[in-house]
Amino acid sequence: MNMDETSISLYQGNTKGAVFASRDATQRISLGKRRQTLTLVSFVCDNAAMQHLMPQVALCNERTLPKRVEKRVRKALPSHLQLLRKASAWNDSSTLANIVKDLGRRLHPHRERFQPVLLMDACRLHMHRSVLEACASVGIVIVLIPPLTTSMLQPLDVDPYGFNLLKLFLRREFQAARIQGDTIELSLSVFLACIGNAMEHSFLKQNWATVFDRLGFGGNQQYLSDALRQQLPKDADVRVGYDRPDAECLRTCFPKRAKISEKLIWKFIDGADTVSAPSAPPIRAALDLEAAILPAGSKRCPLQSALKERSEKQKRARRD
pLDDT digits (tens, 9 = 90+) for 43-66: 999 999 999 999 999 999 988 888
What pLDDT is stored for residue 264 in this prediction? Answer: 79
> What's at 81, amino acid-wise?
L
What pLDDT is stored for residue 285 in this prediction? Answer: 40
What pLDDT is stored for residue 276 in this prediction? Answer: 54
- Rg of the chain taking only CA atoms, in angstroms: 22
What pLDDT is stored for residue 297 in this prediction? Answer: 40
Q: How far apart are CA 64 and CA 58, in angstroms?
A: 12
Q: How far apart are CA 233 and CA 273, in angstroms?
A: 38
What pLDDT is stored for residue 44 in this prediction? Answer: 94
Averaged pLDDT in 10-residue chunks for the chain of 320 residues? 93 61 54 81 93 92 89 89 90 93 93 92 89 91 88 88 91 90 82 92 89 85 82 71 78 77 78 54 42 41 57 74
Q: What is the DSSP string of the chain?
A: -EEEEEEEES--S---S-----GGG-----HHHHH-EEEEEEEE-S-GGGGGGS-EEEEEETTTS-HHHHHHHHHT--TT-EEEEES-SS--HHHHHHHHHHHHHHHGGGTTT---EEEEE--TTTT-HHHHHHHHHTTPEEEEEPTT-HHHH-TTTSTTTSHHHHHHHHHHHHHHHHHHHT-SS--HHHHHHHHHHHHHHTTTTS-HHHHHHHTT-SGGGTT--HHHHTTSPTT------SSPP-HHHHHTTS-TT----HHHHTHHHHS-SS-PPPSSPPP-SHHHHHHHHS-TT-SS-HHHHHHHHHHHHHHHHHH-
Of 153, 173, 190, 174, the closest CA to residue 2 belongs to 153
